[in-house]
Amino acid sequence: MADGTVKVTAEAHLHIGQLLNLIQGPLGDVLSQITSHGMALTDPAVWEGPAASLFSSQVWPTAQQTLDTVRATLMELQQQVGGVLGNVTQAGSGLPLVGQLPVVGGLVNGLTGGL
């Protein structure tokens, strides 16, 4: 589409919306739950011993750092997808909304008069 034409489909809107919903909802919730459970396992009142010490000193700090990186990447993706949604919406904004379509004769009133 070298001529500057932009193609926007309902499918594009659907996928963008679903991607944003996943990032803002279930995926974010799962990451928070993983962090919560991981942090709980670093508490000696919850878990103590050689394996717990290894988890607290080596395993969890690495996992937590990776989770933080994933969160930051997802926040960046969310911002980019939000921008894409804005661009897609703006590209499609040249189309008139149903309420803004011209009325042809009494057709619209005849169709909606009994509603």
13 vs 49: CA distance, rounded Å: 51
What pLDDT is recorded for position 10? 82
101 vs 115: CA distance, rounded Å: 19
| Domain residue limits, the chain | 9-81
What pLDDT is recorded for position 110? 47
- Tens-binned pLDDT, residue by residue, of the chain (115 aa): 456 676 778 888 888 889 888 988 899 899 999 999 999 999 999 999 999 999 999 999 999 999 999 999 999 998 888 887 777 677 666 554 445 445 555 544 444 444 4
What pLDDT is recorded for position 98? 47
56 vs 104: CA distance, rounded Å: 72
Q: Helices 60-91 & 26-40, crossing angle to 10 degrees?
A: 170
What pLDDT is recorded for position 93? 61
